[in-house]
Structure 1
Amino acid sequence: MKLPRILIALALVCYSAVAVSGQGVVPACKDHLSPIHKVAPKLPPRLHNEFEGKAVVSYLVDINGSVQSPTIVSAEWHPAGRSSGQPVGYIEAILEAVAQWQFAPQAQTCRNQTPVEIIFGDS
């Protein structure tokens, strides 16, 4: 009997969060968008070439073509050379770079996704 109450409470909390944010559901961008200004991720020198991989970034493109709220949807990293463990600073570098991208103005704010790769020798 407690499970339905918990599910109802959770649904109300989620609905409230959307209502309070005022954004609701943002539609996907209609066309494949390519940035008119793109910034590559910049890793600190001590992190260069430790890992290779790709992160998929989701973000909003506003009516001015600016990127808002970039977030990582998924990421896959592989050690390059003798590196081990998990990459440090890669996600932050990618999010900082994507936040600086510029797209053509849009009719309305829309959601877009882009894979961003870091390959041995990049940045």
Structure 2
Amino acid sequence: PLSVAPDVMALFARCTWPGNFRQLGNLLRTAAAMVDDDGEIRREHLPEDFFEDLSSNGAQEPAAPAPRAADTLIAQGERLQDVAASVIAAALARHGGNVSAVARSLGVSRNTIYRKMSTVTQNQTPDDA
């Protein structure tokens, strides 16, 4: 059985979890693979991108949930594939084009990112390019 160190639990509490439950699951799976024989998840078992996320968003709990870009796009009647493309484009910009980091942050495989990017470029008209 695994346990989580109290200081790591405090970090979890400070995180805004932009990837929601999927992000937490991925983080715990990574930490569990790195854990020592004592079975306690400590700071050194957490992936670096978790600490980057903490520092980049200030690790503060928002006072009220801000509307997500996807919610706004869906409310405007956008197609799901267009929403997915917008989310991926925003994540690519946030991660400086690093597809691996984007895939980790969105909780999908790199192949999914490449496939979605390919679909977007195939569906562009000459006016879009």
> TM-score band (shorter)?
under 0.3
Using the size of structure 1 for normalisation, the TM-score is 0.26
Question: Greater share of strand residues, 1 or 2?
Answer: 1
Question: Greater share of helix residues, 1 or 2?
Answer: 2
User: Which structure has the greater CA radius of gyration?
Assistant: 1
- Structure with the bigger RCO (C-alpha within 8 Å, sep 6+) is 1
